[in-house]
C-alpha cells in the first residue's frame, strides 16, 4: 500500500478545499452584513415617517445605533472589497449622523440673563427625577441616592404603595409633598424642601399616573413645575395618547410663561422625535440637557440601545448649571439630576 501517495492526495484535496471554504465564509459574511445594511436602510427610511406613523416614531429614536452599525458594515465591506455596499453603508451612517449631531453637542447654549439683577449670588436649586419602576425592589439604592444628592425637589414616577412605604423615611426630609394615584394604583410623587403652592393635578389625560402641577417658592421667587409620566407608545392607541398628552403639555406650558417653568419626568420620547421637537416649539421650552452631550436614561438592561426619554424642559429665562444622569438604582431608567440657578 502506497501510504505516501495517499497522504499526498489528501493534502492536495485539502489545499483545493481551502479556497472554497474561504469563499463560502466570505459569502456568509457578506450576506449577513448585507441584510444588516438593508435593515438599517429600512429603519432610516421608516424614521422619515415619524411625524405621521407610530412605527416611524419608534424607529426615529436610534440614529446613534444606526451610525455605529452602519460604520461596522462599511468597514466589513471595505475589507471584502464590496465598494457599492460600502458606499451604501457609509451613506446610511452619514444621514443618521446628521440627525444625531445637534443632540450630541457638548457646548451649552448662551446663558439667559438671570431673573434677579441684584448683586446677590443666584439661588441654586437641585431637582431629581426617577422612574423607580413599580416592580423594582432596590428601595435602598434609591434612598441612598437621594440622601447623597440632597436635592431640594424630588419627582418620582411609578410610585405604588410598596414604594411609598419603603421611602417613607426619606420623604420625612421633604416637608412639602403632593402625590397622585391613578387607575393602576401607581402615581407620581412630588417632594420638596421649599414651599409648594397651588399643587394639584395637571390635566394632560394621564389617568394611569396623573401628572402634577405646583409652584415652588424659592426664597419668595415662584417657579412653576410640572411632573409628568406620559403613555408608553407601543401601540397605535397608546402612541396617539402620548402625542395628545404632549400637545396638552405644550399648551399648559405656553399658558405659564408669566413665570419660570420646569417640566420634568418620564416623557417616553427621545429628542430625535418630531413630536418632541414640536413640544419644545409649541411650549416655548428647551431641553435642560442641551449642550451636556448624550444622556441615555433607558433601558438600563441594554446599554447599547440606550436613549434619553427622561427629561427636564425649561423656559428660556432659567439658567442650567448642570444636567447629568444618576447611577443605576435597580430601575430600567437612570435618574436625572438638574441644577438650576435663579
Same domain, 304 and 160: yes
Range of the domain at 236: 124-341
- pLDDT at position 6: 57
209/247 Cα distance (integer angstroms): 17
- pLDDT at position 27: 86
Same domain, 50 and 162: no
If one counts the domains in the chain, the total is: 2
100/94 Cα distance (integer angstroms): 10
DSSP string, 248-313: HHHHHHHTTTTS-EEEEEE-S--TTSHHHHHHHHHHTEEETTTTS-----B-TT-GGG-B--EEEE
Same domain, 167 and 230: yes
Same domain, 222 and 329: yes
Does residue 83 belong to any structural domain of this protein? yes
56/223 Cα distance (integer angstroms): 36
Q: Spell 150-177 as b/e; 16+ CB within 10 A means b.
A: ebbbbbbbbbbeebeebbeebbeebebe
Same domain, 98 and 128: no
Same domain, 28 and 63: yes
Same domain, 262 and 297: yes
Q: What is the pLDDT of residues 105-114, one digit of tens each?
A: 666 666 655 5
Three cell numbers at 185?
A: 394604583
Does residue 90 belong to any structural domain of this protein? yes
Does residue 141 belong to any structural domain of this protein? yes
Residues 6+ apart with CB under 8 A from 311: 263, 264, 265, 267, 287, 288, 289, 336
Does residue 319 belong to any structural domain of this protein? yes
- pLDDT at position 258: 80
Does residue 116 belong to any structural domain of this protein? no
Same domain, 221 and 307: yes
Q: Would you say 263 and 226 are in contact if contact means Cβ atoms under 8 Å apart? A: yes
Residues 6+ apart with CB under 8 A from 332: 131, 133, 298, 299, 300, 301
Length in residues, the chain: 342
Does residue 88 belong to any structural domain of this protein? yes
Three cell numbers at 303?
A: 446599554
Same domain, 87 and 146: no
Same domain, 203 and 292: yes
Three cell numbers at 124?
A: 441654586
Q: Give the mean pLDDT per block of 10 residues along the chain (342 residues).
A: 54 62 84 96 97 96 97 96 96 94 70 53 90 97 98 98 97 97 94 95 94 94 96 96 97 90 98 97 95 93 96 94 96 98 88
Residue where one domain finishes, among candidates 69, 104, 139? 104
Give, as one character, the DSSP assignment of residue 158: E
Give which of 116, 105, 155, 176 is closest to 318, Cα–Cα: 116
Does residue 114 belong to any structural domain of this protein? no
- pLDDT at position 60: 97
- pLDDT at position 14: 54
Q: Residue 167 sits in a domain of what CATH number?
A: 3.60.10.10
75/240 Cα distance (integer angstroms): 40
Same domain, 132 and 261: yes
DSSP string, 316-335: TTSEEEEEEE----SSSS--
Same domain, 28 and 139: no
Residue where one domain finishes, among candidates 43, 75, 104? 104
- pLDDT at position 16: 57
Does residue 117 belong to any structural domain of this protein? no
Amino acid at each position: 500500500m502506497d501510504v505516501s501517495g495517499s497522504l499526498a492526495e489528501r493534502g492536495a484535496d485539502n489545499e483545493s478545499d481551502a479556497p472554497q471554504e474561504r469563499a463560502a465564509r466570505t459569502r456568509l459574511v457578506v450576506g449577513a452584513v448585507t441584510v444588516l445594511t438593508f435593515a438599517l436602510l429600512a429603519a432610516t427610511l421608516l424614521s422619515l415617517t415619524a411625524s405621521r406613523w407610530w412605527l416611524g416614531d419608534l424607529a426615529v429614536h436610534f440614529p446613534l445605533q444606526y451610525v455605529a452599525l452602519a460604520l461596522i458594515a462599511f468597514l466589513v465591506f471595505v475589507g471584502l472589497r464590496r465598494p457599492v455596499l460600502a458606499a451604501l453603508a457609509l451613506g446610511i451612517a452619514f444621514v443618521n449622523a446628521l440627525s444625531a449631531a445637534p443632540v450630541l453637542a457638548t457646548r451649552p447654549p448662551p446663558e439667559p440673563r438671570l431673573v434677579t439683577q441684584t448683586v446677590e449670588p443666584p439661588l441654586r436649586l437641585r431637582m431629581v427625577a426617577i422612574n423607580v419602576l413599580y416592580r423594582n425592589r432596590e428601595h435602598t439604592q434609591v434612598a441612598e441616592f437621594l440622601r447623597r444628592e440632597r436635592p431640594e425637589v424630588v419627582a418620582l414616577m411609578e410610585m405604588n404603595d410598596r414604594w411609598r412605604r419603603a421611602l417613607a423615611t426619606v420623604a420625612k426630609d421633604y416637608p412639602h409633598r403632593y402625590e397622585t394615584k391613578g387607575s393602576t394604583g401607581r402615581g407620581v410623587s412630588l417632594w420638596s424642601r421649599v414651599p409648594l403652592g397651588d399643587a394639584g393635578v395637571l390635566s394632560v389625560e394621564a389617568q394611569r399616573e396623573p401628572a402634577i402641577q405646583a409652584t415652588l417658592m424659592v426664597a419668595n421667587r415662584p417657579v412653576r413645575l410640572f411632573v409628568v409620566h406620559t403613555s408608553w407608545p407601543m401601540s397605535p392607541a397608546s402612541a396617539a395618547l402620548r402625542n395628545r398628552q404632549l400637545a396638552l403639555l405644550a399648551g399648559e406650558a405656553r399658558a405659564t410663561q408669566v413665570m419660570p417653568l420646569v417640566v420634568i419626568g418620564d416623557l417616553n420620547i427621545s429628542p430625535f422625535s418630531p413630536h418632541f421637537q414640536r413640544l419644545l416649539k409649541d411650549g416655548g421650552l428647551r431641553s435642560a440637557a442641551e449642550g451636556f452631550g448624550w444622556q441615555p436614561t433607558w433601558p438600563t438592561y441594554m446599554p447599547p440601545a440606550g436613549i434619553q426619554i427622561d427629561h427636564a424642559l425649561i423656559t428660556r429665562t432659567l439658567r442650567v448649571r448642570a444636567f447629568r444622569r444618576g447611577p443605576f438604582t435597580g430601575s430600567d431608567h437612570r435618574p436625572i439630576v438638574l441644577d438650576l440657578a435663579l
